[in-house]
């Protein structure tokens, strides 16, 4: 199936197999320790830390230092509670500690990395009494970003968290730039609708899916009277498809 674009065409509406339109009048750009998300929200989420710590001996002083340094702290007393908190949409992006009841830190780290292959990145700094080289290697292979053995001096921890914030900030900027490029390549900047190339590519994918599921696909071409004046005032491309 081919869609032809011509001057004066005001809209092209595609419907999926359920009959729902898929071209909207606007574009929502999603951007992106556990230390944010999106541009204005990025700094806030970069300051959110999850502290899975089962020992009150360590939990109390570490919590005090994190709050003093301005971090937004969440506490979990075991690995299962930590994993539940990490499922939330606004989950922390900096995670600390290693040896935990129910789900150990190394397993928690593996789960996070598996999930985060498709989501925002978390910065993980294991705090542990284990200091053998093999333990360090195991943690890094599981997906940890850094490592700090107990007992430690508070400035050591603060330095690692500051490094994590920088890494997450740069990662957020990279994701934002990539998303901006994707939107620029697939949407018309004037109308906010899919551009002709993306519409045809989407339709090709939808036709394959409809054939696989034996479901119908609908295409609606709409022509608006006197739309030429809009094209002439906003865009000079005669092939504009909006």
* Average pLDDT of span 132-158: 84
0.75 surpassed by pTM: no
pLDDT at res. 206: 92
What mean pLDDT comes out for the span 142-167?
A: 88
Provide the H-helix boundaries in 8-99: 42-46, 56-68, 79-86
Domains of the chain (ranges, CATH numbers): 9-27+187-234 (no CATH), 42-178 (3.40.50.2300)
- The whole-angstrom separation of Cα 146 and Cα 211 is 48
What kind and span of H or E run contains 220? strand 218-223
Burial class (CB in 10 A: 0-12, 13-18, 19+), 144: buried
Residue 92 has pLDDT above 50, yes or no: yes
């Amino acid at each position: 199936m081919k869609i032809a674009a011509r001057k004066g065409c005001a809209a092209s509406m595609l419907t999926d197999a359920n009959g729902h339109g898929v071209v909207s009048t606007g574009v929502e750009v999603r951007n992106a320790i556990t230390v944010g998300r999106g541009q204005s929200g990025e700094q806030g989420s970069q300051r959110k830390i999850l502290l899975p710590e089962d020992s009150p001996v360590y939990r109390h002083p570490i919590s005090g230092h994190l709050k003093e340094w301005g971090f937004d702290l969440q506490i979990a007393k075991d690995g299962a509670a930590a994993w539940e908190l990490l499922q939330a949409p606004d989950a922390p992006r900096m995670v600390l500690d290693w040896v935990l009841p129910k789900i150990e830190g190394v397993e928690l780290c593996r789960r996070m990395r598996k999930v985060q292959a498709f989501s925002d990145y978390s910065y993980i700094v294991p705090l542990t009494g284990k200091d053998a080289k093999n333990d360090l290697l195991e943690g890094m292979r599981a997906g940890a970003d850094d490592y700090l053995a107990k007992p430690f001096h508070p400035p050591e921890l603060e330095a690692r968290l500051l490094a994590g914030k920088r890494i997450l900030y740069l990662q957020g900027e990279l994701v934002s730039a990539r998303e901006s490029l994707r939107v620029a390549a697939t949407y018309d900047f004037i109308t906010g609708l899919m551009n002709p190339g993306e519409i045809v590519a989407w339709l090709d994918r939808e036709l394959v899916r409809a054939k696989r599921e034996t479901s119908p696909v609908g295409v609606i071409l709409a022509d608006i009277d006197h739309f030429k004046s809009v094209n002439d005032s906003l865009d000079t491309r005669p092939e504009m498809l909006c």
